Amino acid sequence: MRIATWNVNSLRARLDRTLAYLESHQIDVLALQETKVKDADFPAEPFTAAGYKVAHFGYNQWNGVAVATRVGLADVQTSFPDQPTFAKPGSEPVLEARALGANCAGVTVWSLYVPHGRGQADPHMAYKLDFLRTLATDAAAWLAANPAAQIALVGDFNVAPLDTDVWDVSVFAGLTHISPAEREAFAALAKAGFREVTREHLPAEHLYTQWDYQALRFPRNEGMRIDFAYCSPALADRVSAVDIIRDERKGKGASDHVPVELTLA
């Protein structure tokens, strides 16, 4: 069984690439982030034609998460139990489309798009930290209820846990993604009992999953490693390989992120 996660940065703009990737890599379950499409406008028919069922959560041109699967789709959840909301100044709090979970052949796959943070003093940073900490609390409760649970928390975490997860850590001084608070909130998932399996299988330094479109970041390999997979112990033991599909950043119409694949024994 092969599970992948990919921030596609607008699914409608990259639908053909997504479908081609599913076929060429024989992906059984694909978690998507930043679909940037309303549920009513989600292009489900091409996935159905390719043999996939899809669950999607999105209600405007921002955010959006989905799970596409050819091995079964059940128990769909469009948020984790205590997921925080976010309120813009003068607006009511909104539960953003940042988490979707589904049972796929006995594995609960969560597609997660963690808030960016925007700036260390921005209200969005407090939202980001709350999102990660609450996810860790809920994840710990899932394991406490069922230590043998098969759960994958995958997606764009918008955190670079190590200095070598960015091309030049000095560039990020005072910015988002590398602060002690963000890294601590990210590490809370490990304290909850989950294992970050991409690092277990691909420990290499300066191995990235995202490259900005500006300043020739990709040709210069000036990237970030911010797409990860936290697995419950029972599922982590089944992971036999991890791959970062760097070639998907090449060519016309590429997302700024690339897929990360897990192969299960």
Counting DSSP H helices and E strands in the chain, the numbers are: 6, 12
Q: What phi, psi does 3 have (nearest 5°)? A: -115, 135
**Encoded tokens for 72:** 């079964």
Q: pLDDT tens digits for 214-248?
A: 999 999 999 999 999 999 999 999 999 999 999 99
All domains in the chain, ordered by first residue: 2-264 (3.60.10.10)
Q: With contact defined as beta carbons under 8 Å apart, do 239 and 197 qualify?
A: yes
Q: pLDDT tens digits for 20-76?
A: 999 999 999 999 999 999 999 999 999 999 999 999 999 988 999 999 999 999 999
Q: Which amino acid is at 148?
A: A
Rounded to two decimals, the pTM is 0.98
**Encoded tokens for 166:** 């960015």
* CA nearest to 140, candidates 129, 130, 153, 157: 153
Residues forming a β-bridge with 227? 156
